[in-house]
Amino acid sequence: MVGRAERGGGNRYALPVTRPAIALLLLAPSLGCPRPAWPADTVVLLVESPPETLDRRLALSAVAENVAGLLEPGLLRIADDGRPVPDLAESYEQTDPITYLFTLRRGLRFSDGSPLVAADVAATFESLLSPRLASPLAAKFSALSKVEALDDLHVRVRLRAPLAPFLAEMTMGIVPARRQAAPGETGFGRRPAGAGPFRFVSWPDEEHLLLQANPNYYAGAPPIRHLLVETVRDETTRALALESGHADIAVNAISPPLLARLASVPGIAVLRRPGAGTAYLMFRMDDPRLSHRKVREAIACAIDRQALVRYKLLGYGEVADSLLPPQSWAHGPPRPRPGRDLARAQALLDEAGFPRGPDGFRFTLGLKTSTDRFRRSVAAAIAQELSEAGIRVRQEPLEFGTFFSDIQRGEFQIAAMKWVPILEPDLLYWVFDSASIPAAANGFTGFDREGYRDPVLDGILEAARTAPTRRERAADYARAQDILARDLPYFVLWYEDSVAVVRDDIEGFRPSPFGFFDGLATARRVVPPGRER
Amino acid sequence: MKFLLGRLGKLGLSALGATLLVSVFLDLLPGDPVEILLGEQAQSVDVAALRHQIGLDRPLPEQVWFFLRDLATGELRTSLPPFQERVAARLAEVAPRTGLLALAALLFAVCLALPLGVLAASSRDGPLDRLSAILAVAGISMPSFLVGHLLILFFGVRLGLLPVAGDDQATSFLLPALTLGLGLSASLSRVTRASMLEVLREDYILAARARGVPERRIVWRHALKNALLPILTVLGLQAGAVLTGSVVVEKVFNWPGLGTFLLTAIQKRDYNAVRAAVLVFTLTYLVVNLATDIAYALADPRVRRAAAR
């Protein structure tokens, strides 16, 4: 009797959540919305944020530009030394200072099989300047006067005036003429077609984008049959996803502390090569203290870049000697990269008229940086080093939107930043020419947010834009870099390596110094020795 | 009925208040959505044109009015081109995923916290009680992103049992739900213990013991039922913590839910999307609290009678 009562009572005592728990477990698959499995031969590439569009004419983020670059190549591409070289174009020639003639490769086809002809090229560049497309990149093409299709294979490009850096813009992706209406009308950015190594398959949600090898690619379909571009926003999770085998490749998406760990994990290879992205400190030139050249030089002397590269970057970089990376044809011979000299820093600050106060400090400066963990830790190390020279640093890590807004408006004293890989030395014009100080006259474009002015440098940078030969341009840029090393509107810190983390069954992937994903066109999955089934 | 209508009216007012507050905060936030969207090379004329196109040049009250009007008519779209999607469709896509996480987290928490709290109270100051205290302190003090990464490392990488990220497998929800649930279960187990200790001191428990009712029956049937009311209250309040916690946990597990939607919208300064996501969070929180009050009334006749009066 008692036994029966206890058995019956046992059910009554059961926790009230048992049934809902079972129901939830049964319902979870439908609520979790699992998708059909990706094809078995899929290689997973991890990225930090989803591309905002797959239309290269509208792409602003590095992820969007790199992913769209796999789908829509341009007439030219940037080689590892920063020179524009033929891609869809077989060749090009400059027929006069403002005219270029491009010859397309024969038999080019878009991924849907339709032929790619000169009319598509002309239509692409026309659309870039059209208010209907409203491309945020339109300003880059304002030098264009006319793009004409002479026949199916030849395109003539005329400029309004000589502009040497213009060739770098010819890397813009070519899209089919029939789909060049406003993006909202054709959905091109969501379902693109191009002539690249991969073609679009599906974009079921923001986090997953499936591509497929393009059989119509002029260099032949890539060995990777399916490529899934998966967004994983958290860096540690990206590292764990690679470690577990959930993902296969991540390009410049893992910071040095985690790279050091991944390098020791069996089944994972960390591939690196010198990169073209430069980290730097930017000084606001109208600040009462930073306007003194000696103060800027003292800051440079007080910072131990070698130690930062060794201990913060864990060796995944190299101390910089110019904003232009060493791979650039315009970098020129190496410049001195002095180490830390605290005594000189102190002497310079004394000479500049900033003695130490009763609290041991000379003055306080704000250092703005992003909230990225790695960047914040670098800012903390710099603050510590500057404090030893008597400069108290107020660290100001800011969320991206706020940081971007403050930098745009010149609301900073020192900003710790990084230039994305630098492709064209004309960047120096945009960053240091006084015409590039954001103002109503230039529509508030221009990156001279530090407010640096030097009439001599202006003349050199403007001459370099129209110099007829690369040799003359290189000579101009060498002089410009010397002036910048003397005046220090920027203090360049280091060049960050371009690093790819790949599973060891992926072969043939070589990181690009610019962080491009084009190595995926030649990579393949193989079965490592000893793991054959 | 009167009680219910009154609460529903307050719920509507609170939701409106939350929308107004978040609109004011968004307006104060540095960082212009148009500048972020158009990038560094945007011409000031383009910036002005886009600001006009998406209505950012209008006064704040007008912007909020347009938001509410479009929300009511189902025409609300994300603010920023090139893809101005219907917010309702996006929310219908992401909200059930967060709902699943929250429900599973609450279930995990209850399944873990109730037995732990009851057992701790039954063996007060014993080894089980101490162990439960240690677990609770660990659960409360460990941040969810750390718990999440540790769970991924153990179950996803070392054991290879569960997916490390994403939502593309039927079991993908388990680790994020466990992460959310562990934090919640820590505080819930302490509340359960305290509530049980109080009830176990009551006279009717003493009477039951004197009549020879088995201890197991006293604890699980008589005491737990009466100790449930404060637990329910805490559970209702913690629903808010689960929702806000989902923002961090969804990022760690790459779970494409409401938290991820909100985070992305804030980064892009997509005002319509932020307002809509906050509204959904607010409404969910308010509805859960209303449901808790109703459950409270059902569980306790005294509350029911007070509400009827």
Residue A482's CATH number = 3.10.105.10
Q: Check residues B270 and B116 and name the one with the higher pLDDT.
A: B116
Sort out which chain A residues have CB atoms less than 8 A from B223's CB and list them. Answer: none
Binary contact (A60, B39; C-beta < 8 A): yes
Q: Check whether residue A514 and residue A398 sit in a common domain.
A: no
How does pLDDT run across A326-367, given as a tens digit for each residue?
989 999 888 889 899 999 999 999 999 999 999 999 999 999
Q: For residue A129, count other CB atoms closer than 10 A to its CB.
A: 14
pLDDT band at A310 (very low <50, low <70, confident <90, very high): very high
Is the residue at A321 inside a domain? yes
Sort out which chain A residues have CB atoms less than 8 A from B45's CB and list them. Answer: 443
Residue B77, pLDDT > 90, answer no
Whether A277 and A420 have beta carbons less than 8 Å apart is answered as yes
Q: Check whether residue A358 and residue A436 sit in a common domain.
A: yes
Residue A106, pLDDT > 90, answer yes
CA-nearest residue to A399 within chain B is B267
Residue A382 one-letter amino acid: I
Mean pLDDT in residue range B241-256: 88
Is the residue at A12 inside a domain? no
Mean pLDDT in residue range A232-243: 93
Least reliable range by pLDDT among A150-154, A466-470, B38-42: B38-42
Mean pLDDT in residue range B263-289: 85
Q: In CATH, what number is assigned to the domain containing residue A226?
A: 3.40.190.10
Q: Check whether residue A352 and residue A255 sit in a common domain.
A: no
Across the interface, of A205, A399, A405, the residue whose CB is closest to B256 is: A205
Structure tokens at B88: 């309702």
- Rounded to whole angstroms, the Cα distance separating A426 from A162 reads 14
Strand residue runs (E) in B32-184 = none
How does pLDDT run across B138-180, given as a tens digit for each residue?
888 888 899 999 999 999 998 989 998 888 788 889 999 999 9
Across the interface, of A32, A233, A401, the residue whose CB is closest to B173 is: A32
Residue A204, pLDDT > 90, answer no
Domain count, chain A: 3
Least reliable range by pLDDT among A144-158, A253-267, A291-305, B113-127: B113-127
Q: Check whether residue A475 and residue A377 sit in a common domain.
A: yes
Q: Mutate one of A188, A234, A238, A404 to test the B interface: name it (highest B CB count within 10 A).
A: A234
Q: Alpha-carbon torsion A482, A486, A488, A491, what sign?
A: positive
Q: What is the DSSP letter of A527?
A: P
Domain boundary among A188, A222, A243: A188
Structure tokens at A48: 């930090």
Q: What is the pLDDT at residue A24?
A: 54
Mean pLDDT in residue range B97-103: 90
- Rounded to whole angstroms, the Cα distance separating B176 from A153 reads 55
- Rounded to whole angstroms, the Cα distance separating A505 from B52 reads 52
Q: Check residues B82 and B27 and name the one with the higher pLDDT.
A: B27
Is the residue at A359 inside a domain? yes
Q: What is the pLDDT at residue B291?
A: 83
Q: Check whether residue A249 and residue A381 sit in a common domain.
A: no
Q: Check whether residue A120 and residue A37 sit in a common domain.
A: no
Q: Mutate one of A2, A11, A246 to test the B interface: name it (highest B CB count within 10 A).
A: A246
Q: Check whether residue A304 and residue A229 sit in a common domain.
A: no
Residue A13, pLDDT > 60, answer no
Per-domain residue ranges for chain B? 88-268
pTM for this structure?
Answer: 0.81
Across the interface, of A9, A17, A405, the residue whose CB is closest to B35 is: A405
End-to-end CA distance of chain A: 61
Mean pLDDT of chain A: 88
How does pLDDT run across A374-388, given as a tens digit for each residue?
899 999 999 999 999
Sort out which chain B residues have CB atoms less than 8 A from A405's CB and list them. Answer: 30-32, 35
Report the gap between the CA of B23 and the closest CA in chain A (Å): 17
Sort out which chain A residues have CB atoms less than 8 A from B156's CB and list them. Answer: 240, 244, 246
A190 touches chain B (CB under 8 A): yes
Whether A90 and A79 have beta carbons less than 8 Å apart is answered as no
Q: Check residues B16 and A208 and name the one with the higher pLDDT.
A: A208
Q: Check whether residue A282 and residue A407 sit in a common domain.
A: yes
Q: Check whether residue A480 and residue A365 sit in a common domain.
A: yes
Q: Check whether residue A389 and residue A288 sit in a common domain.
A: yes
CATH number (1.10.3720.10, 3.30.1320.10, 1.25.40.10, 3.90.1150.10) of B88-268 reads 1.10.3720.10
CA-nearest residue to A183 within chain B is B82
Residue A34, pLDDT > 50, answer no
Q: Check whether residue A238 and residue A331 sit in a common domain.
A: no
Is the residue at A8 inside a domain? no
Q: What is the pLDDT at residue A4?
A: 37
pLDDT band at A223 (very low <50, low <70, confident <90, very high): very high
Across the interface, of B30, B41, B171, the residue whose CB is closest to A406 is: B30
A183 touches chain B (CB under 8 A): yes
Mean pLDDT in residue range A85-111: 95
B210: exposed, middle or buried (C-beta count within 10 Å: 0-12, 13-18, 19+)? exposed
Report the gap between the CA of A118 and the closest CA in chain B (Å): 27
Q: What is the pLDDT at residue B36?
A: 67
Binary contact (A24, B103; C-beta < 8 A): yes
Beta bridge partners of A101: A93, A156
Q: Check whether residue A462 and residue A378 sit in a common domain.
A: yes
Mean pLDDT in residue range A51-76: 92
Mean pLDDT in residue range A220-227: 96
Domain boundary among A188, A220, A241: A188
| Domain residue limits at A403 | 275-496
A244 touches chain B (CB under 8 A): yes
Mean pLDDT in residue range A157-172: 92
pLDDT band at B41 (very low <50, low <70, confident <90, very high): low
Q: In CATH, what number is assigned to the domain containing residue A137?
A: 3.90.76.10
Binary contact (B172, A34; C-beta < 8 A): yes
